[in-house]
Amino acid sequence: MSRKNSFYKVDLDIDVKQQFIKVEMELYYPILQNKTDTIEFMLHRDLKVKELNGDEIRSYTFNTISNQMLPEAGNLKVNLKGTMKKGELIKIRLLYEGQLGVLQPYGDNRLTEDWIEMGLYFPWFPLNFQQVSSHNIIYDIKVKIDEGYKVFGMGEVIKKNDHWTMVKYTPTNDIIIMASRDIKVESIEDEDFILNIYYDKNSEVINKYGLWILSKYKEWFGTTKEKNMSVVFAKGGAYARKGFVVLEKYKLESNDYNEIDYFTNMLGHEFAHLWWSNAPADTWESWIDEAFAEYSALRVLREKFGEEEFKKAIKIRENRSNNTPPIKNLDMSYEKRKVVIYDKGSLLLYKLEEELGEENFLKLLKEINNKRVSNTEEFLDILTKLFEEDITKKFERLLRDF
């Protein structure tokens, strides 16, 4: 097994009626830094750790005081017997269980009778931010759940006699398991990808716009590296992982549903993450993913609904980002960070496209996708390689001052 990946081998029992999960796990965890003597994970606060052991492990503590980044997580600290070196692999055996539920009405993840969605926002498995930003998670999960539920999620899911298996051996940064009684799936194949769409109703919007957006993105950015892609209309919030997009279903059904809004902010933005999802999510460098996703959405808006709608959307973003700090080195606890990263970021890319012209701009996007650019430095390098140094300097200034 690769010494770079965190491998989770899991037996997961979900009791939907009781909102109870029981987990037995072997976690093969690669040490990420020299002189490591403790490893910290986040894990859902309502879970009780029954056992945690391994040859290298001395003790552990589980502090259920809310984690700042993930409010539903507590802090699980594993103390090692000695210090370990980068690249060494340890095996942690874990047994934990607990009753979980849903905290916010539109929370991203939940465990309820009509919708089960468990991922890192609802941290049912131990993980830390180093794993999330290094995209090194692989897994093999056996799921047992009440009769009548269909299990699906990020990875290949197979129904066996009395359980389901979900495996993923291409590294990612989350383990997302979903289940529902009334989910339908439609698959669309193309020479480059297989797209699975999970929905209960209202899939028309995908037929009307979704595939068109995907074909535009393919034309503009080139193929994604992920062959298998899924889109889920979920009961909670929207988010995206590599090859896995979750959309907000309730917005489709709400009274103030606005088609152009849903097209741009939901389909356009989240689908773009099938291409743009290589940067760390918890630093200012996340503009690399978010600004590109946002500007991709604005570009499809322009194609479909015309220049006037596009200009309107630009204006809204300009107004929102008035009097906000620049992107570079942005403090991620800043309350309007989303405005800076998404709105201001997409405005910078708009300026760049104006400067380069469409043909050159798309050449740049293809190269960024091709090289899986994950930080600003790599981005600026490509910019310099493709065009003149002046363009890079100008863009650097915008990142720093605009």
Q: Which residues bind Zn ion (CB under 5 A)?
A: 290, 293
Nearer residue to Zn ion within complex by CB, 107 or 146 = 107
Q: End-to-end CA distance of the chain, in Å?
A: 46
H helices of 199-344, where?
204-205, 211-221, 250-253, 259-261, 269-272, 287-305, 307-321, 337-338
CB of 286 to Zn ion, least distance (A): 9
b/e sequence 48-60, b meaning 16+ C-beta within 10 Å: ebeebebebbeeb
Which residues, in sequence order, are CB contacts of 272 under 8 Å at separation 6+? 217, 292, 293, 294, 296, 297
Which residues, in sequence order, are CB contacts of 283 under 8 Å at separation 6+? 332
Nearer residue to Zn ion within complex by CB, 222 or 237 = 237
CB of 129 to Zn ion, least distance (A): 18
Query: For residue 357, what are its two tokens?
Result: 């012209």
Nearer residue to Zn ion within complex by CB, 117 or 290 = 290
Nearer residue to Zn ion within complex by CB, 41 or 221 = 221
CB 62 within 8 A of CB 45: no
CB of 84 to Zn ion, least distance (A): 35
CB of 55 to Zn ion, least distance (A): 41
Rounded CA-CA distance 294/340 in Å is 12
Residue nearest to Zn ion (CB): 293
Nearer residue to Zn ion within complex by CB, 151 or 272 = 272
CB of 143 to Zn ion, least distance (A): 28
Nearer residue to Zn ion within complex by CB, 198 or 287 = 287
CB 117 within 8 A of CB 110: yes
